[in-house]
Amino acid sequence: MVIVKYEVVQHDGGWAYKVGGALSETYRTHDAALKAAEKAAARQKRPGATDGIVYQDADGQWHEELADGRDRPGTRVVDEP
């Protein structure tokens, strides 16, 4: 199972959470950033609708797939080390 990590980090004079290389908005306090990360992680695990998707890969080839809305990743929220 894929695990998506939400990491709380210092950012731009405040705090944010980071997923992969993407940062959230900046929060004034660590607590606010942690709560936002927990909410985002919970939303990530909610099932959605099963639907068809079409995408182009790095080689320019187009693909069509059925995305199962029940196939959600696990999540984990961690504080800055």
pLDDT of residue 81 exceeding 60, the answer is no
- Closest by CA to 41, choosing from 71, 66, 6, is 6
Predicted confidence (pLDDT) per residue in 6-65, tens digit: 999 999 999 999 999 899 999 999 999 999 999 999 998 888 888 898 999 999 999 999
Amino acid at site 50: T
Domain count for the chain, please give it.
Answer: 1
Amino acid at site 70: R
- The neighbouring-strand residues paired with 6 are 77
Query: pLDDT value at position 67?
Result: 82
Structure tokens at 28: 């004034």
Structural domain for 31, as ranges: 3-78
Going 33 to 35 to 38 to 43, the CA torsion angle's sign is negative
pTM, two decimal places: 0.73
Query: pLDDT value at position 75?
Result: 92
Q: Are 52 and 65 in contact (CB under 8 A)?
A: yes
